[in-house]
Chain A
Amino acid sequence: MTQAAIVAQDLTALGFVSLGAAIAYRWYRDPVPAQGMLALALITLGAVAALGRIPNPPGVLSVVNVALFILSGFFVLLFRNEFVPLGRKALMGAYALLAIGIAVGIADVLAFSDAPQAVTALIGVLVITPWAVFVGEPIVRFWLESNKLPAVQRTRMRFLSSGFGLLIAIVFVAVVGGSALRSPAAIVLTQLVALAAVPVIYVSFAPPSLLRRIWRMGEENEVRAAMQDLLIFTPSRQDLAERAAYWAVRLMGATAGFVSDADGKILATSGVDSVSAARLLSSPSGQAVVMAPLHLTEGQGRLGIVSGPFTPVFGTDEVAQLRAYANSVSAGLERTRVTERMAALEDNKTQFLNLASHELRGPMTVIRGYVSMLEAGLLGTLNEQGRKAAGVMAAKVSEMNELLEEMIETARLEEGEVTVRAVEADLREIARSAAGVVAPMLQANHQLVMDLPDRRVRVKVDPDRTKTIIANLLSNAIKYSPDGGTITCQVRSRAGTARVSVTDEGLGITRDSMPKLFTRFGRIITPETEHLKGTGLGLFLGRQLARLQGGDITVASEAGKGSIFTLQLPAVGPVPFPVSNGGADGPHDPPVGASPRKLAGTD
């Protein structure tokens, strides 16, 4: 058993010597100034452990050993002093305590080696108390501070605290226990506990990446959600920069953070005002600032964090993390910049549309008024050519006015200011009046066939807007049938849905052009259509207005053969049997008379 005790003591000594050596090596490779004191503390502790294994040491060596032991504790205090500077008085007190501790230690070795056990124990307590104070105060502080830190640092601080806590406990137990603990079993036990402190302290200094990953796991989900929030859902660039700064501070356990734009302007700060942030950005040397580049299209911005008392304790891992984080933030900033620019453009477009169209209404009123008066002969009698010209002018001014109203309605729609006033109406009536609207557009080679059922088709819609939609479908059918042909307007109601289908035999639409069809200004320009006038707003408006009323517009088309546009609207009340005897044998149900109604532009 005695042998076991000796082996345990050797092992412990070896453990501490290795710890000291490992840390000395690490510190040599990566001399982070703040970690120097901790490295010194552990190296001296290793030296103490090594010297303690020399059998029957001469007095001088014992003196050195005691002094080193107390110094190791003092280095822990200095380590803490790097982060949270001690007050002047506290530092003076610490030096005094150091002197007392060393003096008592030397006295113990030189004068009291043969004293009675109670005295030795008392002296021992007097020696280890300064050490325990030097070590104890920092570890309690580290533990408390660790609560504010991100997972990895928090865990590292706690391991460090636990390791040193273990050492304090063992040292006290050994000294106070005295001879009671001299039995080999007790020695083996205390040595093993002391040995356990070695890996605990080691991982706090240099945790392997696996451990880091495990420690971080709890935080990972929160961080992931925050990143997603940050990168995908943050609406404005400003918001994104602010959140990025906030999360950088949290992720790194810093006290403050800031984001700067490519032009060096501070975009957002967290925990620091923008003036100080600008100063830190221009001369970061004064304080411990870590900065990661933000790669933006206009240049390089920066994501900076300002170290808190404990931030630089553990560095490289977090710096790498900050860089990765900065890349994501760059992407986010770029995205919001594009989105914001697009939104501003859309806004401008709407405003322009609104203003231009309202401003155009004034002159339009006068031109239109005088042209109509000219046409009516109110301004004097015109000759044949003059009357013709007045007629053409009236038609063109009318066309212009339509476009103007489309533009205003579009702008209004985009501002969300369109209100639909739905009343019960007969869809046949609405279709008829829409046909009336487009009648002047019909050329000699066009035939407009109204295929309406005998019964009322009851719908609850805004009649004027519905008329607008149908008139637009009809006018498109006419416009895109430059070579003439039959245009059929069919009204049907079935299974709670009322439908108005406008069929033409015109140019049709290619498959590639379909997606553009219902977009704003999405006019399809082909060699056949480029000479036709239009804003491209009609179908966009039509579909929007139909949807506002619970309906929709659908299209089926074949290039070169023609198109069928169908307006669907919710029907009202019980729907009787199919109103027509099937569409197979062509258009039926003329509204008046026996034959389908035909309209021609000229006769």
Chain B
Amino acid sequence: MIEARAASLLWFPDQAGITGAGLPAGAVFPVRAKARQTPEAHVLMIEDDSSIAEMYRLQFEHDGYRVTVATTGELAVSTLSGSEPDLVLLDLLLPDRSGFEVLVTLNERFPNHPPVVILSNYGEPSMIDRGRALGAIEYLVKSRVTPADISEQIPGWIEQGRRRGRKES
């Protein structure tokens, strides 16, 4: 009934977009089980703060994902030209341009780009709306989620991206 995970997400989770579009609490474990079945899903993390990037990498690799980190928007775009990750985690404050600009570039240059999830320190409603309008499938405030919370949701996001891709084609 009372699930422990809620305690860590308690204040104003709607601003992070978790509860509205997020997973029902009960679904967490099945999703995680599925994650194990996906072999070597590839996550591209666009993040300039190395302490955060390393932390996430540790968690994701532990959970069986392949992780590439791009520290600038420029690097992210060139990485995307060379490889085809299954999911993009996008920070909004980057040294060379904003995450929104990166997303716009992705939409223009790679119309079939993998699903994008925004991870930011800002939870302003206007920014969340903008991210969603640009096609991000999720917007999370970093301080409100643990690496495990993110990792657990990766298979769901990849699945969501696939369904969307099928619908479009």
Contacts and interface: CB of A to CB of B under 8 A. Distances in A.
B75 interface: no
B133 interface: no
B160 interface: no
Interface in B1-19: 1-4, 6-8, 10-14, 19
Nearest to B14: A464
Contacts of B113: none
Nearest to A372: B146
Interface in B90-148: 121-125, 141-144, 146-148
A439 B147 contact: no
Nearest to A472: B11
Nearest to A405: B11
B6 A433 contact: yes
Contact of A368 (B11, B124, B125, B143): B143
Interface in A382-438: 398, 401-402, 404-406, 408-409, 412, 417, 419, 421, 432-433, 435-437
Contact of A465 (B12, B55, B124, B144): B12
A465 B121 CA distance: 20
B143 A404 contact: yes
B143 A373 contact: no
Given A398-B8, A404-B143, A464 B2 contact: no
B40 interface: no
A366 B10 contact: no
B49 interface: yes
B23 interface: no
B59 A409 contact: no
B33 interface: no
Contacts of A440: 4, 7
Contacts of B143: 360-362, 364-365, 368, 401, 404
Contacts of B55: 366, 369-370, 373
B126 to A, nearest CB: 8
B7 A398 contact: yes
Contacts of A432: 1-2
A468 interface: yes
B51 interface: yes
A189 to B, nearest CB: 87
B163 interface: no
Q: Is the interface of A mostly helix, strand, loop or mixed?
A: helix
A470 to B, nearest CB: 11
B62 interface: yes
A462 interface: yes
B21 to A, nearest CB: 12
Contacts of B56: 369
A264 to B, nearest CB: 45
Given A362-B49, A436-B1, A406 B11 contact: yes
A468 B12 contact: yes
A440 B2 CA distance: 10
A599 interface: yes
Contacts of B59: 369, 373, 378
B135 to A, nearest CB: 21
Contacts of B19: 463-464
A365 B142 contact: yes
A436 B144 contact: no
A471 to B, nearest CB: 6
B58 interface: yes
Nearest to A406: B11
Interface string A453-488: 000000000111100100100000000000000000
A85 to B, nearest CB: 65
B121 A358 contact: yes
A449 to B, nearest CB: 14
Nearest to B9: A437
Given A365-B142, A369-B55, 20 more contacts: A358-B122, A361-B143, A369-B52, A369-B56, A373-B146, A373-B147, A398-B7, A402-B11, A405-B12, A408-B123, A417-B125, A421-B14, A432-B1, A435-B2, A437-B6, A439-B7, A440-B7, A464-B13, A464-B20, A468-B10
12 contacts: A361-B143, A362-B121, A366-B51, A370-B55, A398-B7, A401-B143, A405-B12, A417-B124, A436-B2, A468-B11, A468-B12, A592-B1
Interface of B: 1-4, 6-8, 10-14, 19-20, 49, 51-52, 55-56, 58-59, 62, 121-125, 141-144, 146-148
> Would you list the 7 A-B pairs with minimal beta carbon distance, nearest first?
A405-B11, A436-B2, A464-B14, A372-B146, A365-B142, A361-B143, A361-B121
